[in-house]
Structure 1
């Protein structure tokens, strides 16, 4: 697939463009010559934290997903086009914070998605694809009542793919599942060409330091201990540029009304992930073997933690040729380097001070 020619001069609309994955997607789209419109939350300062360097190369629309008027006003910019693509990445995307901010999580992730879809219908926009970014958290833990509906690796691991039952275990996961279903509802009812993309555990430069990779790295850079919660869960860690490519491949060649999942294709326990990050950082001279400490107050509430996530991305690979390109240690090395060089971008946002 020739990504460059497919997106050259093509109108695209990105929600959450100033966020972690959104900023990398926006940067890539600008690099290959797309006509990029971005929707970012209006603030009193008007700051663009992660895409400030792209300010003169994108059309910025300010508003709030929860405000239907501002959403419709921004999307009206697509009225003159017939082949535009909408990438919907904006969300309250932190599992732990969804318990602290449940109403904001639902309002942003569910009502916000509804506002986008309804605005497309109300404005009668002729778009080529609407990509709703889902999450691997929607699968949760295996429910014994439907265990026979899952696919299993020969070693007994559950492989999560487009056919797997969902079992969301947090307010965040439930809100994202609702957004997925809304996308499909609007495809069935109005023909909005929606697809859903469930990414598995992205990491990389610019990620909020409250996520697992960022909190490990920022603590190791600043002190002799790394304080964490439950380290038993296993996650399928996918570097952000691979995640961005997944979005772009699905937006071009995914079938409307269908779901696509992707990730690295291997999983690792959070203890092993932590140890690998600390090992790479020590090798590169960023720190000297910090101690790993587990703290009760950093565990998820009750039985809400998801034990294991492992993706089977065969569908996306077979239909588009996508596969991950960045090895774990290479991705970790690039991520540590970014945090080390950009302390002002994250220092006031950590959860361990």
Structure 2
């Protein structure tokens, strides 16, 4: 697909993955409309870190996903919608489950209704591996049962099902991309890899929650490439596609790897305040990415150690943006 001057909307564009996707699409020559949650500071989030030549191709539109009129206005006249906007912090969802559900489910509904009424050519809806909960079998394929082990994961299951219903009920061309854990430059300190890196660079100990749990990590550039391939492929309409590395590693082992790459000995300390409620903890995630390979010809190009090295290098240069002693929910 030639993306030159193609009109696209990215919701959640000011976030970690959204900003990288927006930057990439602008680099492909697309006419990008970036939907960012309104704030009185006129702060576009991580879009402020984009190179000038990419940022100039981006039209920032502020609003709230829960506002159907704002969403409808943002969707108007676009060819492709990438719906990434949501409240993604799991600890925050324990504190404010209603806000999480309203933003993630009602926000998705507003996007899909607007896309249906505007006749958008393709909607790429973003799910999460958290919808699977603790693996009942590994690797996890798209047929794995969905388990709402946190208000956040429950809200994303709801949004995924609304997406499915709009495809089945109204023939809206929706594809669902289901990333496993993503990491890379610009990620928030609420995520575990930035938490490890920032602490390891600035102090002698790393304070974490559970370290025995396993995750499947994908470098953000690989995920962005998958987003574009999902949008381009007619075979993905009505489908859900896992995106992950097909490799699991414990959080404790990630901390050891980061310390080794930095060249520093660290002590890993468990903070009970960072632990999820016992029945809510997702013990194991390991992605079966066979469908992505089949439908998209996609496979991860960046090995974990290479991606961690690139991420560490970025954080070294941007430590002023992070507070190593502050736990971000």
Using the size of structure 1 for normalisation, the TM-score is: 0.88
**Which deviates more, 14-23 or 96-105?**
96-105
Q: Which residue pairs with 2:119 in the alignment?
A: 126
Q: Among residues 31, 37, 43, which one is paired with 2:39 in the alignment?
A: 43
Q: Which residue pairs with 1:116 in the alignment?
A: 111
Q: Among residues 229, 236, 246, which one is paired with 1:265 in the alignment?
A: 246
Give deviations 1:121-152, integer Å, cap 9, x for gaps.
3xx2122211111001111124xxxx6xx5xx
CA distance in 2, matches of 1:7, 1:352: 37
- Structure 1 residue ranges, 4+ long, deviating more than 4 angstroms after superposition: none
| Shift, 1:352, TM fit | 6.9
Q: Does 1:141 align with 2:134?
A: yes
RMSD, matched Cα: 1.8
Residues 241 and 160 (structure 1), Cα distance of their counterparts in 2 relative to 1, 3 Å cut:
same
Q: Does 1:242 align with 2:222?
A: yes
Verify the 8 A CA contact 1:132 1:195 in the aligned structure 2.
yes
Q: Does 1:293 align with 2:289?
A: no
| Shift, 1:49, TM fit | 3.0
| Shift, 1:350, TM fit | 4.2
| Shift, 1:92, TM fit | 0.8
**Which deviates more, 290-299 or 22-31?**
290-299
| Shift, 1:347, TM fit | 3.0
| Shift, 1:75, TM fit | 1.5
Q: Does 1:328 align with 2:304?
A: yes
Secondary structure of the residue that 2:126 maps to in structure 1?
strand
Verify the 8 A CA contact 2:7 2:77 in the aligned structure 1.
no
Number of matched pairs: 324
Q: Which residue pairs with 1:190 in the alignment?
A: 170
Secondary structure of the residue that 1:303 maps to in structure 2?
helix
Using the size of structure 2 for normalisation, the TM-score is: 0.94
Residues 64 and 352 (structure 1), Cα distance of their counterparts in 2 relative to 1, 3 Å cut:
closer
Q: Which residue pairs with 1:68 in the alignment?
A: 68
Q: Which residue pairs with 1:86 in the alignment?
A: 81
Give deviations 1:12-63, integer Å, cap 9, x for gaps.
1100111000011011101111111111111111112321244421122110
CA distance in 1, matches of 2:55, 2:241: 31
Gaps of 5+ in 1: 79-83, 151-157, 283-287
Give deviations 1:280-331, integer Å, cap 9, x for gaps.
112xxxxx31211112111101321111111111111112210000011111
Residues 210 and 349 (structure 1), Cα distance of their counterparts in 2 relative to 1, 3 Å cut:
farther
CA distance in 2, matches of 1:344, 1:68: 37
Secondary structure of the residue that 2:125 maps to in structure 1?
strand
Q: Which residue pairs with 1:104 in the alignment?
A: 99
Q: Does 1:227 align with 2:203?
A: no
